[in-house]
Structure 1
Amino acid sequence: MLNPSLRFFRPRPILPATALALWAAFAFPAAAPGQTTTTFRTSVPEIRSLWHLIRATLEANRMSFPGKSGLISAFSAGSLYPQIWIRDAATTIQASRYYSPAEEIVSWLEEFLAFQETGGGLPDWFDSHGRSDKNTTETDQEASAILAAARAVEIHGPGWLEKKIAGRPVLDRLDLALSFVLERRFDVKRGLVTGAHTADWGDLGMEEADQTAIYAGQSTRWTCDIYDQSMFYGAARALAGMLRNTGRVERADFWTRRAESVREAADRYLWQESRGFYRVHVHLDGPVHPFDEDDMFAMGGNAEAVVSGLAGPEKAVRIIQAALARQEAFRMPTIGAALLPPYPKGTFKHPMVDDPYEYQNGGLWDWFAGRLVRAMFDHGYSGAARAKLLEIARKNIAAGGLHEWNAPDGSGRGSPVFAGSAGSLASAVAEGYFGVRLTRDGCRLEPRLAEDGAKVFFRLPASGSAAAYEYSWNPAEQRVVFRYESPSSRPGWIRLLLPRALSEAELDVRRDGRPVPFSIERLGEDVLLVLETDFASHTLVLRAKKTSQGSSRS
């Protein structure tokens, strides 16, 4: 059950006339007149219930206070984490983008940049009292800031990158941040990013049993793990894209080369061809473990490898298959176990991770499972992705919220309203399952609904971008009807997952009653109908041809 004290978002400022017409055409009977906020109906009740939990989690963590750079409007990481955490906020934006004004998209990131050290390093968190700190066992803070900035630019536009924070443009500070990683957290011999020995993506070191476990020190055992390589790779490519789009081609090329160099090194030192996934890490010093650490499937790091693109298409498919196989072999209720198998009892001294299947040592984490599910949709495993998304939804409905992590029996642990989980799961639902890909400048619609039905309206308040569609499948008539519209003035693409009954059929495809050119794409296990379109109001109808005359494929 939802906490009755959690309030939902109020509608944001009124949309432009074109978007209001869009909403009027697609408004649900249950919607309040004039409502302009993201909403949807679906034939799958668990998806709707999960979205309620996502919104409730956002609202429970919303906060505003004065900071070094101005008024901060943001989301804390969870009820047990009153600070703004950079890695959490970088994923929370994937949910808040549908409900937040511009200041909630960028003000917190500007504050992190205001805390930047001279050498480029960024803190893990700051709070409303002006305090900050860094868990120095980890090496994802700077990469998280860059990935968040890239997501903000999609919504806010590239002009924001030239805004000065403490006298220096945002883009320059982002470049300085990733340069810090190269200078301070990089093993030149292997060409890999370094970090402390933790559990997968975690921040608790091996040797300490108290709070000092989050700080690197004399007892730290150093490694190069797949999570840090994946974060660096994604950040370097994102930074290169932002630099290129602002005319800084030479610097963009530098970061592109750095990204590819790290990918090559990760393939050399971390990829396991025989197992089909990346090893959790390689050790730089100290003894190795007396058990087969390489057999541990690090879900977080491998998921990020797929999401970032560090794992190319062939490796991505093998990682997805490995994740599915490990869940089945270990009989986990969701695909979100951080490590399978986990580290044996006593490997870590800290009481939060000294036993298997607790916290970062094998606990269930939606924060990373959501990324993997989104990647499954993107790589042609929509049927499996839908099933895994529903497993997560049912677990969270039973637990009464989006917890920081869950025990193997599904019970919630840690913070009961965890914002990072809301962000990752929102991306899996909105961009993965519903396939709505909105930016400031354009729109793509890639529904993965197949035999499901839905009526959706998604909007980015910070940019005014919006899209709506209604999708239905009639099995008796073997027909899909897809009504869609967006205020976007740019042409774009539709990629529809075909229901199984149409996946091998010759198709008759009509837009507004007229035949339209299309192609068929096979991706993984999915069969997709692909066509280019404008986003004026259209109705697309596709069905199996009743005769064998002509060809439906182009």
Structure 2
Amino acid sequence: MKSTTIYVFIAMFFLSFSAQAQKQDRKTLAKTILADARLDTVQKKALKLLDRFSAGTSYSEIWIRDFNTFLKGSLQVRPKEEVKNALLMFFKIQGQDGNIVDGVVEATKATGGYDYRHSDLLPGWAAHKNTVETDQESSLVQAVKKYIEVTNDRSILTEVIGGKSVLQRMEDAFSYIRKERWSVKHGLVTGATTVDWGDVQPETGWGVSINDKTKMAIDIYDNAMYVIAIHDFLAMAPKGYKTVENWKNVADQIKKNVRIHLWMKDAQKYRPHLYLNSSPFSKNFDEDKILYTGGSICAILADFNTPAEVAAINKQIVAAAKKEKHATIGITVYPPYPVEEFPNMPAYQYQNGGDWTWFGGRMMPALMNYGMVNEAYQELLPMVDRTIAKKGFFEWYDVRNGEPKGSGEFRGEAGVLYDAIALLKKWAAAEIKK
């Protein structure tokens, strides 16, 4: 009896000692984060860039998928009414079927190869939609949620545009996906075949628009973004608001069906695509071996995975980054598609193995949601150091030589870095006070 009591006492002592050690480790990490001047430097640089809404020097448009990721930073340097009006433009030029465009641009600058649309509700502006994507609707709803989080201005929800409130128009956007981009058989969101979260399909030609060569498929990114948007919508909707559909049930079913059709349990990763008719790739090409990083990060943010699975996904992404000399966890896919399979985008170019902080930076909140703060900080630092070394924010980086590519002054990168650092600092400040 006495020996049992002693063993219990020893066990309790070591548990107490371990808890104290972990608490001390957290405080040490918190102090390190708050003392890291690099984080301050990048945030200050980001805010200088986020005084405009266009995506970067190569883009005249305000792209909703980009704006969604730097809106919080914009609200630190621009009046909330200006940010609100930029969001409302997307509702003013919303399609009759509820679809949301990719980008809005001043009509005089609408000179690209897109099929532009116009609206009497938005005079002087034009818009276009990359139809191979299925994330514009989700991105807009998420952006509205971020606007309310920062400003606490819920009046945007009851703003009436063309006889409909923003709340109604967000539901119209959800319904568009349910009608036009939905597999009844699988209970999941569909889209054209692209690289992970990308907007270019494999076949040569104008890769951003669905055509007679397009192969429709189901992927993790589109479904994760849709579920995140539904969660955001339900969190915003006023008490007693009657929705047109049971969106919580839709989100719950998607999560369940993702586990059935896309999650590869043995490999602890997501299947790149589930094809509805046929694949655009050769029969000998094993696409399932490719790791989709951006979609996986969004899946974690959508709460699709267990803590153990999150750790496994993160381990795979870190391992993939280590295989290329200049890569961070922002590397889009690994290994990249060979050009024989993806003629529209060679390996290591753009979304096919390029390194995008725009998505890598989203891993910080994903990890922190699961208590992996040290991992978040350590994985952020290579992206922070690169931004300082390259003296700016760029669209993507070549993992073979580390050189920046694409648009300069890329606000997507600036936005996610600003948000990730802000989140780490908030955690650190709270930890110090404990």
Q: TM-score range by the shorter chain?
A: 0.7 to 0.9
Q: Does the 8 Å contact 1:234/1:310 carry over to 2?
A: no
The answer to whether residue 343 in structure 2 is matched with residue 315 in structure 1 is no
Q: Which amino acid aligns with 1:187?
A: S
Map of 2:356 onto structure 1: 365
Map of 1:233 onto structure 2: 227
Q: Which amino acid aligns with 2:87?
A: L
**2:142 aligned to which of 128, 144, 147:** 147
**Correspondence 1:196-235 to 2 at 5 A:** 196-209=192-205, 212-235=206-229
Higher strand proportion: 1
The answer to whether residue 302 in structure 2 is matched with residue 304 in structure 1 is no
Distance 2:159 2:418 in 1: 29
Map of 1:417 onto structure 2: 409
Q: Does the 8 Å contact 2:72/2:147 carry over to 1?
A: no
Q: What displacement does 1:78 show?
A: 0.6
Q: Does the 8 Å contact 1:338/1:363 carry over to 2?
A: yes
The answer to whether residue 261 in structure 2 is matched with residue 291 in structure 1 is no
Q: What displacement does 1:330 show?
A: 4.3
2:371 partner SS: coil
Q: TM-score, normalised by structure 1?
A: 0.66
**Correspondence 1:115-130 to 2 at 5 A:** 115-129=93-107, 130=125
1:422 partner SS: helix
Distance 1:349 1:333 in 2: 23
Q: What displacement does 1:402 show?
A: 1.0
The answer to whether residue 272 in structure 2 is matched with residue 276 in structure 1 is no
Q: What displacement does 1:98 show?
A: 2.5
**1:100 aligned to which of 59, 75, 78:** 78
Which sits farther off after the overlay, 129-138 or 391-400? 391-400
1:415 partner SS: strand
Q: Give 5+ residue unaligned stretches, structure 1.
A: 1-40, 63-74, 436-445, 448-470, 472-493, 498-539, 543-554
Q: Does the 8 Å contact 2:130/2:208 carry over to 1?
A: yes
Deviations 1:478-531 (A, max 9, x none): xxxxxxxxxxxxxxxx4x27xxxxxxxxxxxxxxxxxxxxxxxxxxxxxxxxxx
How many residues in Structure 1 have an aligned counterpart in Structure 2? 381
Q: Which amino acid aligns with 1:309?
A: D
Higher helix proportion: 2
Q: What displacement does 1:394 show?
A: 1.1
**Correspondence 1:46-61 to 2 at 5 A:** 46-59=38-51
The answer to whether residue 372 in structure 2 is matched with residue 381 in structure 1 is yes
Q: What displacement does 1:312 show?
A: 4.3
Map of 1:85 onto structure 2: 63
Map of 2:22 onto structure 1: none
The answer to whether residue 174 in structure 2 is matched with residue 161 in structure 1 is no
Which sits farther off after the overlay, 363-372 or 159-168? 159-168
Distance 1:101 1:226 in 2: 35
2:82 partner SS: helix
Distance 2:417 2:305 in 1: 21
Q: What displacement does 1:126 show?
A: 0.9
The answer to whether residue 128 in structure 2 is matched with residue 136 in structure 1 is no
Q: What displacement does 1:420 show?
A: 1.1
**Correspondence 1:332-411 to 2 at 5 A:** 332-350=326-344, 353=345, 355-408=346-399, 409-411=401-403
The answer to whether residue 247 in structure 2 is matched with residue 247 in structure 1 is no
Distance 2:203 2:255 in 1: 30
Distance 1:279 1:203 in 2: 18
Map of 1:479 onto structure 2: none
The answer to whether residue 92 in structure 2 is matched with residue 114 in structure 1 is yes
Distance 1:280 1:100 in 2: 39
Q: What displacement does 1:396 show?
A: 1.5
Q: What displacement does 1:100 show?
A: 2.7
Q: What displacement does 1:99 show?
A: 2.5
Q: What displacement does 1:115 show?
A: 0.2
Q: What displacement does 1:48 show?
A: 2.2
Distance 1:331 1:274 in 2: 28
Distance 2:304 2:414 in 1: 24
1:214 partner SS: coil
Q: Does the C-alpha gap of structure 1 residues 179 and 313 become closer, same or farther in structure 2, counting only changes over 3 Å? A: farther
2:213 partner SS: coil
Deviations 1:205-228 (A, max 9, x none): 11123xx21100111011101100
Q: Does the 8 Å contact 1:224/1:284 carry over to 2?
A: yes
Distance 2:394 2:371 in 1: 29
1:404 partner SS: strand
Considering Cα pairs closer than 8 Å and 6+ residues apart, tell me whether 1 or 2 has the greater RCO.
2
1:223 partner SS: strand
Q: Does the 8 Å contact 2:271/2:288 carry over to 1?
A: yes
Deviations 1:117-166 (A, max 9, x none): 11101111111221111000000010111111111122233232011112
Q: Does the 8 Å contact 1:196/1:221 carry over to 2?
A: yes
Q: Does the C-alpha gap of structure 1 residues 107 and 227 become closer, same or farther in structure 2, counting only changes over 3 Å? A: same
Distance 1:305 1:103 in 2: 32
Q: Does the C-alpha gap of structure 1 residues 291 and 88 become closer, same or farther in structure 2, counting only changes over 3 Å? A: same
**Correspondence 1:14-25 to 2 at 5 A:** none
Distance 1:236 1:138 in 2: 18
Q: Give 5+ residue unaligned stretches, structure 2.
A: 1-32, 108-124
Distance 1:331 1:276 in 2: 25
Q: What displacement does 1:326 show?
A: 2.1
- Aligned CA RMSD, in angstroms, stands at 1.9
Q: What displacement does 1:259 show?
A: 0.5
Deviations 1:318-377 (A, max 9, x none): 222221222234455311100011111232222xx2x21110001000110010123223
Distance 2:243 2:139 in 1: 23
Q: Does the 8 Å contact 2:171/2:244 carry over to 1?
A: no
Q: Does the 8 Å contact 1:399/1:410 carry over to 2?
A: no
Map of 1:191 onto structure 2: 187
Distance 2:36 2:362 in 1: 21
Distance 2:406 2:138 in 1: 25
Distance 2:163 2:134 in 1: 26
1:190 partner SS: coil
Q: Does the 8 Å contact 2:393/2:410 carry over to 1?
A: yes
Q: Does the 8 Å contact 2:90/2:101 carry over to 1?
A: yes
Q: Does the 8 Å contact 1:205/1:214 carry over to 2?
A: yes
Q: Does the 8 Å contact 1:139/1:185 carry over to 2?
A: yes
Q: What displacement does 1:380 show?
A: 2.1
2:318 partner SS: helix
Q: Does the C-alpha gap of structure 1 residues 104 and 246 become closer, same or farther in structure 2, counting only changes over 3 Å? A: farther
